[in-house]
Amino acid sequence: MSAEAFDGDSVVKVTDLVAGYIPGVNILNGCSIEARRGELIGIIGPNGAGKSTLLKAMFGLVKVHSGTVVVRGQDLTGLKANKLVSRGVGFVPQNNNVFPSLTIEENLQMGVYQAPRTFRERFDFVAGVFPELAKRRAQRAGSLSGGERQMVAMGRALMMDPAVLLLDEPSAGLSPVKQDEAFLRVHEINRAGVSVIMVEQNARRCLQICDRAYVLDQGRDAYTGTGRELMKDPKVIQLYLGTLAETA
């Protein structure tokens, strides 16, 4: 992409992404999404639609066959994950997202292994969002609950001061109260200036808090709009939210 064409408010722009795990079998079939400065973007859609694959492809973990991933005007398609981290992309996978044998503090240190001198400053920021992590910094991550591990994983991704955070189902496996808490934290991180792209199983809740969302279906962005628009869209309700959504 030429410098002239770069829209300064675009943080991540994914265009016509085609990607998959096995040669000849594409999971993403021309998927396009964008996150602009300060936006909280939701990604919803049925199981197997390719939501996790989209985040992994954006983070260099799944082979991209065609299409582009442009981050702040630079084409970073297919770059390895560690390079993407230093270009401002943070990723929190759904599972296995902490080092269980390391303490909370050591997990956070791993987040800045590329820039260890920034540890103190970034630790203070993360402790502001997740005070309980600072209090329990010496505890092994393997002994934490699912929700607490999720906080460690988000904290670790925030250590590199990302421009955009990719979150794969931050509320999965949590009790309703803990889910609300997870959404609040995501909101807080977003308000602190980090653009967020959040995949969520809890579609209604996701649409309530995001600025804009995309419905993924069979590896494509099938619908997009503001959270409010999608929540009211009869097709989206019928196909993806269920009838209860109308009254939510």
Ligand X SMILES: Nc1ncnc2c1ncn2[C@@H]1O[C@H](COP(=O)(O)OP(=O)(O)OP(=O)(O)O)[C@@H](O)[C@H]1O
Kindly list the residues in this chain that would bind ligand X in the complex (CB under 6 A).
21, 27, 45, 47-53
- Return the one option of Mg ion, ligand X, none that residue 47 interacts with (CB less than 5 to 8 A, by type): ligand X
Question: Of 21-29, 52-60, 79-87, 239-247, which part binds Mg ion (CB under 5 A)?
Answer: 52-60
In 3D space, the residue among 57, 18, 51, 36 whose CA is nearest the CA of residue 194 turns out to be 36
Between CA 116 and CA 122, with CA 119 as vertex, the angle to 5 degrees is: 135
As separate numbers, helices (DSSP H) first and strands (DSSP E) second, the chain gives 10, 10
Fill in the DSSP letter of residue 115: S
User: Shortest distance, CB of residue 78 to ligand X, whole angstroms?
Assistant: 17
List 26, 52, 150, 171, residue binding Mg ion (CB under 5 A):
52
When the beta carbons of 133 and 245 are compared against ligand X, the nearer one is: 245
Which of residues 148 and 168 has its CB atom nearest to ligand X in the complex? 168
Task: Report the residue number, 98 or 167, with the smaller CB distance to Mg ion.
Answer: 167
DSSP assignments along 128-162, one per residue: HH-HHHHHTTTSBGGGS-HHHHHHHHHHHHHTT--
Q: What distance in Å separates the CA atoms of residue 161 and residue 192, rounded to the nearest whole number?
A: 11
Nearer to ligand X, 123 or 214 (CB): 214
Distance CA 247, CA 42 (A): 20
Residue 48, binding choice from ligand X, Mg ion, none, Cβ under 5 to 8 Å by partner class: ligand X
Q: How far is CA 111 from CA 69, 98, 105, 114, 119, in A?
A: 23, 10, 10, 8, 9
Q: Closest approach of Cβ 173 to ligand X, in Å? A: 12
Among 3-11, 50-58, 81-89, 113-121, the segment contacting Mg ion (CB under 5 A): 50-58
27 binds, among Mg ion, ligand X, none (CB under 5 to 8 A by kind): ligand X
CB of 51 to ligand X, least distance (A): 3
Q: Which two tokens stand for residue 101?
A: 């044998």
Task: Please identify, using beta-carbon distances, which residue of 66 and 95 lies nearer to Mg ion.
Answer: 95
